[in-house]
Structure 1
């Protein structure tokens, strides 16, 4: 059995990725509408089932209903599977089954995998996927055991293992779902939980290419420019985010104010890491000062790294634009990182992603302001969380109208697939341009 089907011979890789995710969401919605998926005698309303399935498959974590009190174990397992499929990607999971069955991948399959993990070429693509799967399941398995052992002091062993598995999958895939009802507020001073949760979120947000290179680092002793940028920018944003949240919320009695120094540091670090695309929290997000919420919106908009389980415009897009600004201020023509020059086409791509994402964000906020009765910053925060597939919320999502929920669903989908992938999937086939227009002069600034 090959991964390729008849449709793949006619459709482009971006279109297949779009339709594949839509199919996963559709199946997930139907399963969550089954009476067995919820508590009580009645099945979940279709809009809430669609919203939950979209949020899980797009690894966002925004919820219209409380997961723990609404869904049965069957429903929670469906959500966990959707997060795993959405985080690693359906093409990656399909490749896993093909490799297990000993099947060879066609050229079209390799093109799809290249598109799915944002790789530059098809060289060694199967080897990368194999390493990523081993790394992913290994770290999820280790985290499951550690979290289960930690939670055995608070609950029965069977429940502790189930909770460990669910939250290991949720955190590594940046899913944002939890079974506690208040995220992880009760564990804000627990160093073991904070360590394991942060490692899971960061690992999932680095990207498949970076994970593969880190996996081989002991043997090769070198990293590519991409991996160096991802690691340095991710680390820098986490440190800056921790400091800003710590300073801005230090005296806020609704968040860090009542905590001791150790708990303040843990909570600040966890919330900074969470904005990478995790969506979980150890403080009350609604209690944050507006300045902190706005700053977190910026971090959520940047998001995780390319080819990862997270969303956003991506860390490399952000640093390329920052490099262009620095180069322009210094009067230089080239963007240089680690003694390597960034091609101009990368700058154009980064600019395109940022502008399209900003336009989508503006449109979504304007639509929500039209359909919902809530404050501007609250709706903007939910929109930023959706487009960055983060899942942090100030409590507006459960009160959204059906139209508002559909708007957020579309935003989460676009955020997970990426605006460029959707644009490539929808664009008509064009012929190669055989000429160039003469250059013109435009005054700027």
Structure 2
């Protein structure tokens, strides 16, 4: 007992969080290798890749889920997605609360770090609200989608397909049991709106949703919530219009659709990279400018303390506003009547630098191990880091080493750049300052 407590004190929250994800991946790999989990035998590499993709809520797949996994295997996949999306610590605390156990300060710290918060106060209450919110949203969405799909697929399949895709969508996973993902439903507004709403809400972040729920007025929202809502709306509109114009005449995607379906498909493909991974048009058939723009969206990602990854929308907005402020001669950037701290600027710069370094390093390794063109490889790496799941169709063609590299990128993308940084270096605050001097830049 004393030894266990000693290790718990010595292990930092980033190590615990990363270790939990790693254990989930290993456990998922072992379950997916069971004979009852697959229709035919799969390799250990493919089982590990699939477990990693599900646990990190990515959605990249090396085989067709619907024809390879049995119902048992699909349920294992869904469990990994739900645990990976909300966090293992959230479920662990929920189980402790269910049995009336006391939640210690150490577990509260783990929850705080899992959701990237500043204080441990109210963490247990937030976990309770998060679980209630998730169950309510998923139940409502499953009901609505079932009403639409039961007449098409029948009672059993209609409810099952709805449950699978709702959980996958809300957790921003992008896994589908349909061979062509959601391409058959490209012109279906009900499927498009329900599933896209799920990964938009899931990508906002739980604390943003709670802030909106508790404070009905925009004026009373926190700066983070205001940035997430305005940034999400603005980016989604810009992305929809951009993809609509770029793909308008592409007969391999939306060129032959009616104007209404073109808008619907463009909207879905605009919000999916943040970071859901579903697609209603063939990703590999998109124009190169559209693919490059999608890579940017995947890099930006969703919100902090959400089921999404990427550098996060607020990080991107802070860097943009800081750049604008510099050119306007403003020493401290401000937004919505609030000044952004220098600490936040440095944090955003660190996140972006570590993220780009991870992507470039991984892409460099893949160009050595794979005989695949650079552009599809780059798209795959951006998708893996953003835990998106969109692909140009090369995932299954990767070598075993290539798959392991992509697994590492998915893992890094899910635990977050700063968690990765804390694992590599133990930060400490300096108690002294050096004299200033001039450095020429630009």
TM-score category (smaller protein): over 0.9
Question: Structure 2: how far apart are the matches of 1:67 and 1:46?
Answer: 16
The match for 1:142 among 123, 140, 147 is 140
TM-superposition CA deviations, 1:236-292 (whole Å, max 9, x none): 111111001000000000001011011101100001110110000100101100010
Pair 1:221–1:134, CA change in 2 (3 A): farther
Matched, 1:438 2:416: no
Question: Structure 1: how far apart are the matches of 2:250 and 2:7?
Answer: 55
SS in 1 for 2:389: coil
- Deviates further, 396-405 or 115-124: 115-124
1:371-390 matches, cutoff 5 A: 371-390=369-388
Q: Structure 1: any 5+ residue segments left out of the alignment?
A: none
The answer to whether the 8 Å contact 2:218/2:226 transfers is no
- In structure 2, the residue matched to 1:20 is 20
User: How many residues are aligned here?
Assistant: 439
TM-superposition CA deviations, 1:339-360 (whole Å, max 9, x none): 1000001000000010111111
Question: Structure 2: how far apart are the matches of 1:408 and 1:26?
Answer: 16
Q: Structure 2: any 5+ residue segments left out of the alignment?
A: none
SS in 2 for 1:113: helix
SS in 2 for 1:394: coil
Question: Structure 2: how far apart are the matches of 1:273 and 1:406?
Answer: 28
Normalising by structure 1, we get a TM-score of: 0.96
Question: Structure 2: how far apart are the matches of 1:334 and 1:85?
Answer: 40
1:255-266 matches, cutoff 5 A: 255-266=253-264
- Deviates further, 155-164 or 17-26: 155-164
TM-superposition CA deviations, 1:323-342 (whole Å, max 9, x none): 10010010110110101000
Matched, 1:369 2:367: yes
Normalising by structure 2, we get a TM-score of: 0.97
1:18-417 matches, cutoff 5 A: 18-40=18-40, 43-218=41-216, 222-417=220-415
TM-superposition CA deviations, 1:362-420 (whole Å, max 9, x none): 11111111111111111000000000000000001110000000000000000000121
The answer to whether the 8 Å contact 2:14/2:423 transfers is yes
Give the CA deviation at 1:428.
4.1
SS in 2 for 1:152: helix
Q: RMSD over aligned Cα, in angstroms? A: 1.4
Question: Structure 1: how far apart are the matches of 2:19 and 2:187?
Answer: 43
